[in-house]
């Protein structure tokens, strides 16, 4: 008599107690950490973590400029959510939205001097929050290895967003 394999995917192995503990702790961390970082920024700077993220990504982009779709992806937001947030930041003078010269349908977000100044004011608050809620708990760990593992778990990083030089506005 020949043995046949069952149809369908192989049965998943149950998690060990240690694996289960890590999975549950990571799940909780993914929910709690953005909230506590946001609360610190809100309390001390009247700025949301999403606003901080937008300004930070723009500050790190070449010429302080990113396509709205790239910025939304970098901030893990929908394009409509980014449009609303960019509108708020634009009304506060922190960024400008300009047409993309390569593609008239697209818009670029451009960091203003005011937005960069606001980011610089918020940076010490965010840094203290990150240290208190994250870094201070990692003593003794190989941080380079931890960063590599977390990045691999997140699906790896993409290339930094780059915009063409002809899209760079004059300040």
Confidence of residue 166 (pLDDT cuts 50, 70, 90): very low
CA atoms within 13 Å, Cβ hemisphere of 28 = 6
Q: Starting from the edge strand earliest in sequence, which strands make up the sheet with 107-111, in order?
A: 65-67, 107-111, 95-99
Contact yes or no for 106/99 (Cβ under 8 A) = yes
- Whether 55 contacts 86, CB under 8 Å: no
Residue 156 backbone zone (phi > 0: left; psi -120 to 50: alpha; other: beta): left
CA 46 to chain centre: 19
Q: At what angle do helices 17-45 and 49-60 cross, to 10 degrees?
A: 90
The residues, any chain, with a CB within 8 Å of residue 165's CB and separated by 6 or more, are: 63
Residue with the bigger pLDDT between 7 and 121: it is: 121
| 12 pLDDT tier (thresholds 50, 70, 90) | confident
- The overall pTM is greater than 0.75: yes
Partnered with residue 111 across adjacent β-strands are 95
pLDDT tens, 53-104? 999 999 999 999 999 999 999 999 999 999 999 999 999 999 999 998 887 7
| 3-state secondary structure (DSSP) of residue 65 | strand
| Per-residue model confidence (pLDDT) at position 8 | 67
Cβ–Cβ under 8 Å, residues 68 and 79? yes
What average pLDDT does the segment 124-144 reach? Answer: 97
Q: Please give the average per-residue pLDDT across 7-28, as a whole number.
A: 89
Q: Is the pLDDT of residue 43 over 90?
A: yes
CA angle at 117 for the pair 113 and 120, rounded to the nearest 5°: 140
């Amino acid at each position: 008599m020949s043995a046949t394999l069952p149809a369908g995917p192989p049965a998943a192995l149950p998690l060990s107690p240690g694996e289960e503990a890590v999975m549950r702790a990571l799940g909780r961390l993914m929910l709690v950490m953005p909230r506590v970082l946001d609360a610190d920024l809100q309390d001390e700077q009247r700025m949301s973590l999403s606003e901080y993220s937008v300004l930070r990504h723009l500050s790190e982009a070449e010429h302080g400029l990113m396509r709205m779709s790239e910025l939304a992806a970098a901030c893990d937001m929908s394009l409509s959510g980014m449009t609303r947030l960019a509108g708020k930041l634009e009304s506060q003078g922190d960024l400008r939205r300009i047409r993309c010269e390569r593609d008239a349908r697209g818009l670029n977000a451009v960091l203003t001097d005011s937005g960069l100044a606001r980011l610089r004011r918020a940076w010490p608050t965010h840094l203290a929050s990150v240290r208190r809620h994250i870094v201070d708990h990692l003593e003794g760990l190989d941080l380079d290895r931890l960063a590599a593992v977390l990045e691999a778990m997140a699906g790896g990083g993409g290339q930094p967003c780059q915009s063409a030089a002809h899209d760079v506005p004059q300040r």
